[in-house]
């Protein structure tokens, strides 16, 4: 659960002066302090993500007292296991156990844990030995969440986590002339050695393991610190699960009498949240374009005026809609005895991203290049912070009596839409739903 923060946004046609910047920052920090007091008075409610952001913000602002106060509060909610420390989102779903290894943590958990590391390492005038020791325990957990390419679940948590790992590496780095020798062996049938020294310490060294399954041992000699990671890729059949979103897509007009088809049409989307929480986190709706068609940009940008759409991204190949929590200003006018406006009051009301109430959006796409034998395009909706679980819907041209069809619309210029759900990379948390449309 995330607590809404009221940060002041100042827009000006001119340049920012130092005094103006100072005023904006001062007001923002004052707002953060007010929010922190509200959280403290909230009792048992947990705002781990917000606390982690606040701790880092106060650390950057040089307010060590508030930083220490929030870090102390976060320490009470930390998950301490396997000689590591991390933080989890409140009411985390219980993990199932069909995995050969512990599933990768969610994007939100990686991000909030990384923010705590950044808050500890941004102490003034510098981090204490205790800060470094506690950060090391979280860094150990973060490195276990990295994928085989060094990244994490999403772009945002990858940026924050790599920032934290880089800062920790810079603060703990000690240059010396000594080296480490890493040896990998498998029962006398296989042996490979990695030499790690100052000249190649940032170089990725890797070797394929020839025997799967097999028993391998890793030994290290010399001095220094090395990071070793094994990657095993395999495919398994996963259980079919319920989607966290209901998504419907239609093209307008639904039918056409023109044998040559339309050179432009409207895409209408309806989405609602069907997961276990009262509302979703930020949701991204990704609409791929049918070959030869491009979105009409003004009709997409107009959606940003809607209260649930925080921003849009438009390219020739797809449209991204960001449905995020925003602050809506409610203005209340007070009248005098002659019914003339005397004063007004502005109240900031949070608007949740997606709930069980259906949201509707539409925009226009138009033909750019004529293309024959058009294939269906995918429309996908997913929780930005819980990207681990997804559905794919495939166009199957299945008969209407097929029971596992999840979506169908009336024919569009003689072509219909149908889909079969296929799970892809299913793990824990809320996840998305996708389907295909044809023109």
Spell out the residues 6+ positions from residue 84 whose beta carbon is closer than 8 angstroms to its own.
Answer: 137, 138, 140, 141, 144
Q: Helix (H, G, I), strand (E, B), or coil: what is residue 315?
A: coil
pLDDT of residue 35: 85
Task: Judge whether 221 and 197 are in contact, CB under 8 Å.
Answer: no
What is residue 76's DSSP assignment?
A: T
Nearest partner of 49 among 134, 135, 107, 123, judged by Cα:
107
Q: Which helix (H) or strand (E) holds 129?
A: helix 129-145
Task: Judge whether 364 and 255 are in contact, CB under 8 Å.
Answer: no
Would you place residue 29 in the very low, low, confident or very high pLDDT band (cuts 50, 70, 90)?
A: confident
pLDDT digits (tens, 9 = 90+) for 129-178: 999 999 999 999 999 999 888 889 888 899 999 999 999 988 988 777 67
pTM: 0.64
Average pLDDT, the chain: 75
Task: Judge whether 120 and 127 are in contact, CB under 8 Å.
Answer: yes
**Can you list the alpha helix ranges (DSSP code H) found in 284-371?**
297-301
C-alpha dihedral sign at 166, 172, 174, 179: negative
C-alpha angle with apex 270: 269 to 273, nearest 5 degrees? 135
CA distances to 29, 164, 279 from 2, in Å: 18, 21, 11
Would you place residue 23 in the very low, low, confident or very high pLDDT band (cuts 50, 70, 90)?
A: confident
Alpha-carbon distance of 294 to 371, in angstroms, equals 12
Q: Which residue has the higher pLDDT, 135 or 394?
A: 135
Q: At what angle do helices 155-172 and 107-121 cross, to 10 degrees?
A: 30
Q: Helix (H, G, I), strand (E, B), or coil: what is residue 161?
A: helix
Phi, psi of 141 (to 5 degrees): -70, -40
Say which CATH topology domain 245-437 has: Immunoglobulin-like (2.60.40)
Number of CB atoms found within 10 A of residue 114's CB: 29
- Strands 377-383 and 283-288: what pairing? antiparallel
Q: Is the pLDDT of residue 12 over 50?
A: no
pLDDT of residue 11: 39
Alpha-carbon distance of 334 to 336, in angstroms, equals 7
Quick one: the chain helix, strand, coil %, rounded to 5? Answer: 25, 30, 45
Q: State mean pLDDT over 348-361.
A: 73
Would you place residue 123 in the very low, low, confident or very high pLDDT band (cuts 50, 70, 90)?
A: confident
Alpha-carbon distance of 267 to 254, in angstroms, equals 10
pLDDT digits (tens, 9 = 90+) for 50-103: 899 999 999 998 899 999 999 999 999 999 988 899 998 776 655 555 555 667
pLDDT digits (tens, 9 = 90+) for 323-337: 876 555 444 455 555
What is residue 396's DSSP assignment?
A: -
Say which CATH topology domain 18-172 has: Glycosyltransferase (1.50.10)
Spell out the residues 6+ positions from residue 9 whose beta carbon is closer than 8 angstroms to its own.
Answer: none
Alpha-carbon distance of 34 to 405, in angstroms, equals 51
Alpha-carbon distance of 301 to 312, in angstroms, equals 6
pLDDT digits (tens, 9 = 90+) for 186-229: 987 899 999 998 888 888 899 999 988 888 999 999 887 788 88
Q: Is the pLDDT of residue 417 over 60?
A: no
CA distances to 62, 157, 333, 414 from 170, in Å: 20, 20, 55, 62
């Amino acid at each position: 659960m995330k607590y809404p923060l009221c940060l002041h946004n100042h827009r000006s046609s001119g340049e920012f002066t130092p005094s103006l910047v100072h005023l904006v920052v001062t007001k923002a920090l004052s707002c953060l302090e007010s929010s922190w007091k509200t959280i403290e008075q909230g009792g048992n409610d947990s705002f781990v993500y917000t606390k982690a952001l606040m701790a880092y913000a106060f650390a950057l602002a040089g307010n060590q007292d508030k930083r220490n106060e929030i870090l102390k509060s976060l320490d009470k909610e930390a998950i301490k296991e396997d000689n590591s420390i991390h933080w989890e989102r409140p009411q985390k779903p219980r993990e199932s156990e069909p995995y050969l290894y512990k599933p990768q943590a969610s994007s939100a958990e990686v991000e909030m844990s990384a923010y705590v590391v950044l808050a500890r390492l941004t102490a003034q005038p510098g981090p204490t030995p205790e800060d470094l020791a506690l950060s090391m325990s979280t860094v150990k957990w973060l490195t276990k969440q990295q994928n085989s390419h060094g990244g994490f679940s999403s772009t945002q948590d990858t940026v924050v986590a790599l920032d934290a790992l880089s800062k920790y590496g810079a603060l703990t780095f000690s240059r010396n002339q000594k080296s480490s020798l890493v040896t990998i062996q498998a029962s006398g049938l296989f042996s490979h050695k990695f030499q790690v020294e100052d000249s190649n310490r940032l170089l990725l060294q890797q070797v394929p393991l020839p025997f799967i399954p097999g028993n391998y041992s890793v030994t290290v000699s010399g001095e220094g610190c090395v990071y070793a990671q094994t990657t095993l890729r395999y495919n398994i059949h996963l259980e079919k699960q319920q989607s966290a979103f209901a998504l419907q897509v239609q093209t307008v007009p639904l039918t056409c009498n023109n044998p040559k088809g339309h050179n432009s049409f409207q895409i209408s989307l309806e989405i609602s949240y069907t997961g276990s929480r009262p509302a979703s986190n930020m949701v991204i709706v990704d609409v791929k374009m049918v070959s030869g068609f491009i979105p009409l940009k003004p009709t997409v940008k107009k959606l940003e005026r809607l209260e649930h759409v925080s921003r849009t991204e438009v390219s020739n190949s797809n449209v991204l809609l960001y449905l995020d929590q925003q602050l809506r200003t409610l203005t209340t006018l007070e009248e005098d005895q002659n019914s003339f406006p005397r004063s007004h009051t502005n109240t900031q009301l949070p608007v949740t991203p997606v709930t069980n109430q259906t949201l509707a959006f539409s925009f226009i796409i138009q033909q750019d290049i004529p293309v024959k034998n058009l294939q269906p395009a995918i429309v996908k909706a997913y929780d930005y912070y819980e990207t681990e679980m997804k559905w794919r819907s495939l166009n199957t041209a299945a008969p209407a009596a097929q029971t596992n069809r999840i979506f169908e619309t009336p024919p569009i210029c003689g072509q219909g839409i149908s889909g079969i759900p296929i799970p892809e990379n299913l793990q824990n948390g809320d996840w998305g739903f996708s389907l295909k449309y044809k023109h």
